[in-house]
Amino acid sequence: MKYDGIIFDFNGTLFFDTKYHVLAWNEISMELCGREVTEEIMDKEISGVPNAEAILKMKPELSRAEAEEYSRKKEELYRGFVQNAPGGEHLVKGAEELFSWLKENSIPFTIASASIIENISFFVDYFHLDRWLDPQMIVYDDGSYADKVNMFLEAKKRIRADRVLIFEDSLSGIRCAGEIGADVIALETPSMKDVYGQYPNVIHTVRDFEGITEYLK
């Protein structure tokens, strides 16, 4: 294999959860300014923006402390929507099989996510991620990373890998991967399907993880 390690984004990559973020943001936005949040608004105004900053745009007169409190409330709402999903939720098709294949072949991998620790702990428990990797290896937003470039570099360090392949869905994540010289397999989203070709480090786009090991051998 030409890569000696794999890094996964989580939200929108291993778990398609936009609808739950929309529901949570909608409740916060309706409370703060009476405005509904749609997937289009999520894509154009909220995705990639720190929670507190998005909240201050909704209601500028809030203090930073109040914005942070609403941020925590939004994430609590999000976790509740996921936990109460009818029939339960699952990782993207093929993800569990890919994790098992990587583990069986002793290929180091981890997750680098902009999620906060409360969400990461929830994901570990809900999806039983500790079946495949040590949760201590997961890189998350603990307030010490300026951007995802630094998160990817830390993830490389933790798995002791030099040439990594990154699975991402966001353009900001793809750009950050490019800054560290990493190839990307992008998880397609309808709003950005035609944009991925603008990034030379995107070697392939997929809808799920079925059959993905062919690109890793």
- Same-domain pairing of 50 and 79: yes
Q: Which of 60, 83, 106 is the last residue of a domain?
A: 83
For tokens 């939004």, what's the residue?
Answer: 74
Section 122-143 average pLDDT:
95
Section 188-198 average pLDDT:
77
Percent of the chain at pLDDT > 70 equals 99
Q: pLDDT tens, 49-106?
A: 778 888 999 999 999 999 999 999 999 999 999 999 999 999 999 999 999 999 999 9
Range of the domain at 116: 5-16+90-215
Average pLDDT, the chain: 92
Section 174-185 average pLDDT:
95
Distance CA 31, CA 37 (A): 12
Distance CA 162, CA 71 (A): 35
| Res 191: pLDDT | 67
- Same-domain pairing of 106 and 77: no
- Same-domain pairing of 68 and 166: no
Cβ atoms 22, 39 nearer than 8 A = yes
Cβ atoms 101, 213 nearer than 8 A = yes
- Same-domain pairing of 46 and 97: no
Where do the H-state alpha helices sit in the chain?
18-33, 39-41, 51-58, 64-83, 95-104, 117-127, 148-159, 171-179
Task: Supply the CATH number for residue 52's domain.
Answer: 1.10.150
HSE-up of residue 85 (Cα within 13 Å, Cβ side): 16
Query: Which is higher by pLDDT, 129 or 116?
Result: 129
Domain count, the chain: 2
Written as one letter, the residue type at 134 is D
Burial class (CB in 10 A: 0-12, 13-18, 19+), 187: buried
Q: pLDDT tens, 7-63?
A: 999 999 999 998 999 999 999 999 999 999 988 888 778 876 778 888 999 999 999
- Same-domain pairing of 148 and 62: no
- Same-domain pairing of 94 and 75: no
Section 98-121 average pLDDT:
95
| Res 146: pLDDT | 80
Section 171-198 average pLDDT:
87
